């Protein structure tokens, strides 16, 4: 192919286009963000005195929050984080991965603060000195969803008893999609099979997806299968799928979230001051209130129930 000068110029322009727009999109929000923190601190200190001294220092720093996909996918973080960012002038980068990877990021010192829902493993991190103290933040609950035809008869026989429900699914060999990704949800699901007496599920009816919650719900919808989902992700997808809630309200299905600041001894790159602020902020009554408001407008019910002590 021969390129004459005009073609070459156009080609270069096209190739350069992503960088041009990338630059402008980088430069535009920056000035828009900056005035906000400058204004806010002037008002805020009265309400939250302990934050005053660190404001200057934290301004325009970056905080890396490693969390599970459920908090990001549900939209909770989009709902509450702007308040935090504005209050302190911190830019929070959310890395939403599986629980395993989120906790691993804490161990590797790749994140500053962790928000996850696998209490046992989280407490291990605290014991090992990978993170500082763990605090309860909120809980949400899991639900068992399935096709409206409900082939295993959960709704009739076990609408609020997860052990009986799982036993019914296994007995009928009704298709069940498992996360299969060692996530907090997956580990929870495995423990429920155990406690329901099924043991380790196997067979063609038991589908191990190895994917995130949203993908698994879509998959179960397509395959007309059961799955265990967190209520938030299910509700956010409800309009586009046929799956219905067939089992809910069993206390063992509650799912506790905890927050931990990564141990600053992992290195100078850990933004501990910001992490500390984040922990304080998410446990503060105002934020807890905000969490309980999330989802009410859209779904008519809260998705997360704050329970910080």
Partner 1 sequence: MDNFVSGFQDAFQLIIDLDPEFFEIVRLSMVVSLTATFLAAIVAIPFGTWLGIKEFPGKRFLVRIIYTLMSMPPVVIGLVLFLLFLRNGPLGEFRLNFTATAMIIAQFVLVTPIITGVVFNGTKDRGPDIQDLARTMGSSPTQTVWLLIKELRINILSAVVTGYGRAMSEVGAVMVVGGNIKGHTRIMTTTIAMLRNMGEYSLAIATGIVLLLISFLINSLLYHWQQER
Chain residues that interact with partner 1, rule: CB under 8 A:
97-98, 100-105, 180-183, 207-212, 215, 219, 221-224
As measured in angstroms, the least distance from the Cβ of 96 to partner 1 is 10
Is the distance from CB of 154 to CB of 144 less than 8 angstroms?
yes
DSSP per residue over 10-35, as a string?
HHHHHHHHHHHHHHHHHHTHHHHHTH
Nearer to partner 1, 41 or 212 (CB): 212
Nearest distance from residue 224's CB to partner 1, in Å?
8
Distance linking the first and last C-alpha atoms of the chain: 69
Contact in structure between 146 and 241 (CB atoms under 8 Å): no
For partner 1, give the closer residue by CB, 169 or 177.
177
Shortest Cβ 296–partner 1 spacing (Å): 30
Sign of CA dihedral 109, 111, 114, 119: negative
Please report how the helices 162-172 and 184-195 are oriented relative to each other, as an axis angle in degrees rounded to 10. Answer: 80
What count of other Cβ atoms lies within 10 Å of the Cβ of residue 177?
24
What is the smallest separation between the CB atom of 195 and partner 1, expressed in angstroms? 22
Decide whether 73 or 183 has the Cβ nearer to partner 1: 183
- Tell me whether residue 208 or residue 244 sits nearer to partner 1 (CB atom): 208
Least distance (Å) from partner 1 to the CB of residue 52? 38
Q: How far is CA 307 from the centre of its chain?
A: 17
For partner 1, give the closer residue by CB, 82 or 148: 148
Residues 6 or more apart from 105 whose CB is under 8 A from it? 64, 66, 95, 97, 111, 114
């Amino acid at each position: 192919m021969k390129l004459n000068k005009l073609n070459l110029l156009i080609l270069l322009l096209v190739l350069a286009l992503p960088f041009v727009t990338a630059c402008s999109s980088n430069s535009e929000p920056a000035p828009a963000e900056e005035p906000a923190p400058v204004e806010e601190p002037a008002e805020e200190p009265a309400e939250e005195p302990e934050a005053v001294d660190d404001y200057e220092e934290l301004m325009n720093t970056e905080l890396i929050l490693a969390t599970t996909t459920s908090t990001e996918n549900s939209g909770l973080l989009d709902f509450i984080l702007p308040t935090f960012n504005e209050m302190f002038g911190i830019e929070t980068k959310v890395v939403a991965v599986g629980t395993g990877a989120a906790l691993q990021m804490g161990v590797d010192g790749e994140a500053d603060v962790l928000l996850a829902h696998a209490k046992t493993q989280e407490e291990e991190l605290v014991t090992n000195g990978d993170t500082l103290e763990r605090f309860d933040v909120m809980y949400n609950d899991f639900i068992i969803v399935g096709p409206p035809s409900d082939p295993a008869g959960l709704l009739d026989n076990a609408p609020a008893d997860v052990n009986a429900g799982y036993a019914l699914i296994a007995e009928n060999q009704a298709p069940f999609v498992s996360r299969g990704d060692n996530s907090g949800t997956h580990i929870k699901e495995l423990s429920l099979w155990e406690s329901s007496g099924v043991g380790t599920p196997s067979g063609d009816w038991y589908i191990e997806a190895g994917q995130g919650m949203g993908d698994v719900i879509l998959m179960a919808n397509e395959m007309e299968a059961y799955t265990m989902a967190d209520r938030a992700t299910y509700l956010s997808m409800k309009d586009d799928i046929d799956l219905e809630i067939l089992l809910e309200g069993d206390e063992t299905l509650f799912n506790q979230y905890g927050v931990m600041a990564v141990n600053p001894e992992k290195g100078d790159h850990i933004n501990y001051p910001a992490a500390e602020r984040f922990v304080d902020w998410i446990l503060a009554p105002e934020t807890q209130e905000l969490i309980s408001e999330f989802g009410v407008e859209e779904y008519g019910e809260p998705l997360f129930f704050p329970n910080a002590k």
